[in-house]
């Protein structure tokens, strides 16, 4: 199209869009996934391996994860247990160590750090903390908790939490539940994820290192907040769990460390109340005011009662008190030592926390402790025992003082 000099040339929109719009062949746009190494064949990568990455992308090679995150390698001699079900997990990963000390009957839990946690707050961050529970058992009695890290998705705790009174039987049958939650001051705390570790995977006196993805196993809501259908399902699951664990299972209320010794010189039984651990909280402040009572059954004259002093506002009291029962060894073989722990209350009746009975009618560790005491006179034997919500039938059928 040609025009006269001085006239303004007009171009319609079709001609304008046809000018310089085809610089050459169209090249495919590189996806962001092409800049990262592939762990293996997959549907997104078309079966490519990380060794097939373009040569010109070599300067973007990734450093090892530990170097990027500043993570420390586990100590020498520690067994490592790590798996990652999804490289882009939405819940995050938790790193921790477990050590079972058989000599001191303690379980040491070192909560190290977490990374890539799920955002729970409006600012895209979270206020995470970690809770520990031993299952099966009373949750409030054996709950341990770390401090809360504010406004982070990659918290570092480096805290050591210790369970006392852990026996070989606990290592065989119990499971450690590790939950990560988000603290919310204005409403209820929110569940992020959890990990369950069977304690039978631990070896005595050998630290085991874990770096595991959190799982979506949200606990059931309280019965008051559930519908009738959900309450029925909850009750069914609870009955099923109790059936799998065996008949006659009692609720755990904590642990107590007892010392037994029969004195040949004084001709009597010396009972030592050393300490308790992880007692159930009976007061509204989350604590108890515990004390211990002991009876030697049958107690016809009702003179075998002994009681320790009250320890205020604690779930891990130390008593270190001794009681003496004057009795021949032959007569002691037919007796049962009943030990109960109570919460002291002013102005109302005291609350029963838990108890245990040691004698010929007891079972497990309680019966073994009693038998060893009678077979080894003048030897002080200390053992941990589990406090239950009820006394065993052998002791419950006996008359009470």
H/E stretch holding 329: helix 329-332
Query: pLDDT, tens digit, for every residue of 296-307?
Result: 988 777 788 999
Residue 161, pLDDT score: 95
Residue 296, pLDDT score: 92
CATH assignment of 252-388, given 3.30.110.30, 3.40.50.300, 2.60.40.150, 3.20.20.80? 2.60.40.150
Of 250, 227, 233, 218, nearest to 91 by C-alpha is 218
1-15, 139-153, 270-284, 384-398: which has the minimum mean pLDDT?
1-15
Query: pLDDT, tens digit, for every residue of 172-206?
Result: 989 999 999 999 888 889 999 999 999 999 999 99
Of 146, 101, 163, nearest to 386 by C-alpha is 163
Whether the per-residue pLDDT at 125 is higher than 90: the answer is yes
More confident residue, 216 or 380: 380
**Average confidence (pLDDT) over 25-48:** 54
All structural domains of the chain with their residue ranges? 92-214, 252-388
Residue 51, pLDDT score: 46
How far out from the chain centre does Cα 181 lie?
12
**Average confidence (pLDDT) over 221-242:** 49
126-140, 174-188, 235-249: which has the minimum mean pLDDT?
235-249
Using CA atoms, how far apart are residues 295 and 337, in angstroms rounded to an integer? Answer: 6
CA angle (170 as vertex; 166, 173 as ends), nearest 5: 165
Look up residue 262 and give its DSSP letter: E
pLDDT band for position 371 (cuts 50, 70, 90): very high
8 A C-beta contact, residue 306 and residue 343: no
The reply to whether 92-214 and 252-388 are identical in fold is yes
Whether the per-residue pLDDT at 243 is higher than 80: the answer is no
Give the C-alpha distances (Å, rounded to integers) separating 89 from 86, 94, 115, 215.
5, 12, 10, 10
Strands 306-307 and 318-326: unpaired
Query: Residue 181: exposed, middle, or buried by beta-carbon count in 10 A (0-12, 13-18, 19+)?
Result: buried
Whether the per-residue pLDDT at 69 is higher than 70: the answer is no
Q: If DSSP codes are grouped into helix, strand and coil, which group holds residue 44?
A: coil
Q: Establish whether the linkage from the previous residue to 2 is cis, with ω within 30° of 0.
A: no
Of 257, 294, 269, 265, nearest to 374 by C-alpha is 269
**Average confidence (pLDDT) over 274-303:** 88
Cross-strand partners of 179: 131, 194
Whether the per-residue pLDDT at 116 is higher than 50: the answer is yes
pTM over 0.85, yes/no:
no
Query: pLDDT, tens digit, for every residue of 304-340?
Result: 899 999 999 999 999 999 999 998 988 888 899 999 9
Fold of the 92-214 domain: Immunoglobulin-like (2.60.40)
Whether the per-residue pLDDT at 401 is higher than 60: the answer is no
How far out from the chain centre does Cα 171 lie?
13
């Amino acid at each position: 199209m040609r025009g006269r000099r001085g006239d303004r040339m007009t171009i319609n929109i079709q001609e304008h869009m046809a000018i310089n719009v085809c610089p050459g062949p169209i090249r495919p746009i590189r996806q962001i996934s092409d800049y990262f190494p592939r762990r293996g064949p997959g549907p997104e990568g078309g079966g490519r391996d990380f060794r097939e990455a373009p040569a010109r992308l070599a300067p973007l090679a990734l450093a090892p994860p530990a170097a990027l995150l500043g993570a420390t390698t586990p100590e020498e001699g520690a067994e490592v247990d790590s798996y990652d079900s999804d490289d882009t997990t939405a819940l995050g990963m938790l790193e921790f160590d477990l050590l079972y000390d058989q000599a001191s009957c303690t379980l040491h839990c070192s909560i190290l750090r977490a990374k890539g946690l799920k955002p729970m707050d409006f600012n895209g961050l979270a206020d995470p903390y970690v809770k520990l529970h031993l299952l099966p058992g009373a949750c409030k009695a054996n709950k341990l908790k770390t401090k809360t890290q504010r406004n982070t998705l990659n918290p570092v705790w480096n805290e050591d939490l210790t369970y006392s009174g852990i026996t070989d039987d606990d290592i065989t049958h119990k499971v450690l539940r590790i939950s990560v939650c988000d603290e919310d001051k204005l409403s209820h705390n929110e569940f992020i994820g959890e990990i369950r570790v069977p304690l039978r995977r631990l070896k005595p006196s050998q630290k085991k290192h874990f770096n595991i993805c959190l799982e979506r196993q949200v606990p059931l809501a309280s019965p008051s907040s559930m519908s009738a259908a959900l309450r029925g399902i909850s009750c069914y699951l609870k009955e099923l769990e109790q059936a799998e664990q065996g008949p006659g299972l009692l609720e755990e209320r904590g642990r107590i460390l007892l010392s037994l010794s029969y004195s040949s010189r004084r001709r009597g039984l010396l009972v030592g109340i050393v300490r308790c651990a992880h007692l159930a909280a009976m007061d509204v402040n989350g604590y108890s005011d515990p004390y211990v009572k002991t009876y030697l059954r049958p107690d016809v004259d009702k003179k075998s009662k002994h009681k320790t002093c009250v320890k205020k506002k604690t779930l891990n009291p130390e008593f270190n008190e001794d009681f003496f029962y004057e009795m021949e060894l032959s007569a002691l073989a037919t007796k049962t030592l009943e030990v109960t722990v109570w919460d002291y209350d002013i102005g109302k009746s005291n609350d029963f926390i838990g108890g245990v009975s040691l004698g010929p009618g007891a079972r497990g560790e309680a019966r073994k402790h009693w038998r060893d005491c009678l077979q080894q006179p003048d030897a002080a034997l200390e053992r941990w025992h589990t406090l239950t919500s009820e006394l065993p039938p052998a002791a419950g059928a006996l008359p009470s003082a």
